[in-house]
């Protein structure tokens, strides 16, 4: 039953920067796709195809909801696919990546073909979400299988972050160039260009990576793991998700993360409509040119990594949110003053926004690795994967809700996508409504996140205190001997009295009393 480890997808290689890039290339599509969802699809369906915003928002939301549910099943399917002949020959992870590559090449261009049927776009969009998840979910499992070395896994994940930011910029640069050339088929040509770009990137990752060979020992290990039905997986997932909310540090972190990212979704979704319908003299390429300033996320990420050490997450959150709020006020001020053709003003404002956005995206996921340690002193369990799943699940859910709500709010302003294509055809009262939805939808969520971020106590110093206390307890230290500082930090981070932390274990290694 074991596969030939000398052949793809089981043949391992030394992990170098080059191999890290090969692994990370799939996130050129991942990062690009996420920004197509939040920044392009709504504008394409409304401004280009003339669908009412509520319908456009519903299409995007439906696809993301299907994606959330599909992800719960897909992990279980790929984990057990080694039992099939296809899984043994092509890999339990790489089989889905290879099939997804072929399906993506066939389906992705279809979305950019003009149609008057919203059902057509709904079906194709849901199919795209299913296909992309078929590649993303198994791909995210590969670092664990490619190497057990921490530094080598860091090489793989670090390459991914830079490539993802590159994919975001390329998506908008391609569309901006076509719009600037006033190409009547800009979206279709961009869709084909994105398809070619993403297919090459997916292919590099699919055939440049490997997974753990199905040796006799590994198969025995896999078969020894507890078997769960789909129902049991869903039940355990719901219970696990609920357990994470007992962690006060994580509750605050998740709230800040979801509020800020949902605010970012409002911005990306509504910026094209705001510029097209509310700004005098605006060009078709403007929204995509301004979004392409996301390329600044690459150097900004490097700078943020340094600031995370020297100033901590609170500072980064504040820097991010203040930058975004300044940008939002500037956008509305330009509209209110009636400035004609404010391209260079908006370019500067967009640079400020994109620097804030890059900081916003960097901080939560770089603070996240500390969260499982807070859970560990509460439960003595290793549940990092559970916390990552909760963040991903709720992020996708709120992303779907944001687009849907944005569409409904635009509908309520009286905006008609089929007739209101630019500044001259959009009545002033509708412009006011669009501006209010764009500004308030983004700014309220970002301001709320800014306010909540002051309750984030987990940083390098407090984590050091927590980690030292965990190590003391692991070495057999008595809970009665806890220092005042360690007690205070542990209680602030967990939200529970110290006496309830670090529970005793039964003979099976499970906590006797759970919080």
* Each residue's pLDDT tens digit, 415-426: 999 899 899 999
Return d(Cα 204, Cα 169) in angstroms, integer.
Answer: 20
Please list the helix, strand and coil fractions of the chain in percent, rounded to the nearest 5, in that order. 75, 0, 20
Residues contacting 346, CB < 8 A, separation 6+:
275, 279, 286, 290, 331, 334
Tell me which H or E stretch contains 9: none
Q: How many CB atoms lie within 10 A of CB 100?
A: 23
Strand partners, 505: 511
Task: Provide block-wise average pLDDT over 10 residues at a time, the chain (515 residues).
Answer: 66 87 92 89 94 92 85 75 82 91 97 95 95 88 76 72 84 92 93 97 94 78 67 75 90 94 93 96 93 86 84 93 97 96 96 93 82 88 75 83 91 92 94 97 96 91 91 91 94 93 78 71
**Model confidence, pTM:** 0.84
Return d(Cα 400, Cα 234) in angstroms, integer.
Answer: 21
Q: Which of 493, 468, 494 is nearest to 481 (CA)?
A: 468
Q: Which of 76, 105, 294 is nearest to 191 (CA)?
A: 105
Residue 461 CB burial class (10 angstroms; 0-12, 13-18, ≥19): exposed
CATH of domain 1-228: 1.20.1250.20
Q: What value, to the nearest 5°, has the Cα angle with vertex 435 and ends 429 and 437?
A: 105
For residue 2, the model assigns a pLDDT of 46
Q: For residues 387 and 43, is the Cβ–Cβ distance under 8 A? A: no
All structural domains of the chain with their residue ranges: 1-228
* Tokens matching residue 373: 């340690």
């Amino acid at each position: 039953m074991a596969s030939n480890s000398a052949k793809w997808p089981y043949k391992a290689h030394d992990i170098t920067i080059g191999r890290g890039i090969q692994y990370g290339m799939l996130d050129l599509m991942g990062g690009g796709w996420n920004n197509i969802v939040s920044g392009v699809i709504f504008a394409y369906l409304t401004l280009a195809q003339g669908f009412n915003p509520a319908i456009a928002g519903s299409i995007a939301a439906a696809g993301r909801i299907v994606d959330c549910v599909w992800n719960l099943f897909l992990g279980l399917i790929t984990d057990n696919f080694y039992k099939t002949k296809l899984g043994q020959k092509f890999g339990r992870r790489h089989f889905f990546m290879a099939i997804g590559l072929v399906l993506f090449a066939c389906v992705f261009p279809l979305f950019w073909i003009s149609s008057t049927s919203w059902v057509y776009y709904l079906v194709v969009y849901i199919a795209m979400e299913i296909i992309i998840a078929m590649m993303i979910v198994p791909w995210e499992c590969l670092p664990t299988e490619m190497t057990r070395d921490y530094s080598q896994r860091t090489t793989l994940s670090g390459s991914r972050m830079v490539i993802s930011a590159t994919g975001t910029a390329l998506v908008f640069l391609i569309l901006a160039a076509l719009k600037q050339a006033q190409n009547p088929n800009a979206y279709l040509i961009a869709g084909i260009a994105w398809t070619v770009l993403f297919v090459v990137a997916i292919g590099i990752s699919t055939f440049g990576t490997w997974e753990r060979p199905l040796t006799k020992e590994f198969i025995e290990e896999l078969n020894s793991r507890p078997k769960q039905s789909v129902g049991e997986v869903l039940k355990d997932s719901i219970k696990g998700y609920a357990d994470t909310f007992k962690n006060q540090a994580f509750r605050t972190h998740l709230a800040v993360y979801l509020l800020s990212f949902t605010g970012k979704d409002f911005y990306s979704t509504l910026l094209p409509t705001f510029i097209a319908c509310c700004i005098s003299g605006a060009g078709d390429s403007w929204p995509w040119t301004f979004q392409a300033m996301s390329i600044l996320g690459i150097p900004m990420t490097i700078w943020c990594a340094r600031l995370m050490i020297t100033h901590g997450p609170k500072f980064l959150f504040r820097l991010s949110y203040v930058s975004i709020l300044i940008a939002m006020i500037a956008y509305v001020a330009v509209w209110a003053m009636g400035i004609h053709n404010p391209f260079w003003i908006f370019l500067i404002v967009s640079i400020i926004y994109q620097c804030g956005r890059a900081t916003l995206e960097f901080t939560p996921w770089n603070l996240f690795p500390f969260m499982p340690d807070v859970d560990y002193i509460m439960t003595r369990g290793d549940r990092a994967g559970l916390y990552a799943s909760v963040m991903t699940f709720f992020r996708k859910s709120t992303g779907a809700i944001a687009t849907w709500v944005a569409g409904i709010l635009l509908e309520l302003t009286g905006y008609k996508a089929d007739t209101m294509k630019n500044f001259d055809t959009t009545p002033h009262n509708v412009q006011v409504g669009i501006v209010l939805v764009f500004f308030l939808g983004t700014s309220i969520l970002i301001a709320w996140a800014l306010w909540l971020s002051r309750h984030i106590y987990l940083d390098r110093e407090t984590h050091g205190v927590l980690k030292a206390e965990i190590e003391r307890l692991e070495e057999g230290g008595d809970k009665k001997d806890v220092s005042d500082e360690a007690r205070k930090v542990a209680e602030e981070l967990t939200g529970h009295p110290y006496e309830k932390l670090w529970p005793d274990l039964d003979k099976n290694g499970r906590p006797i009393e759970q919080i």
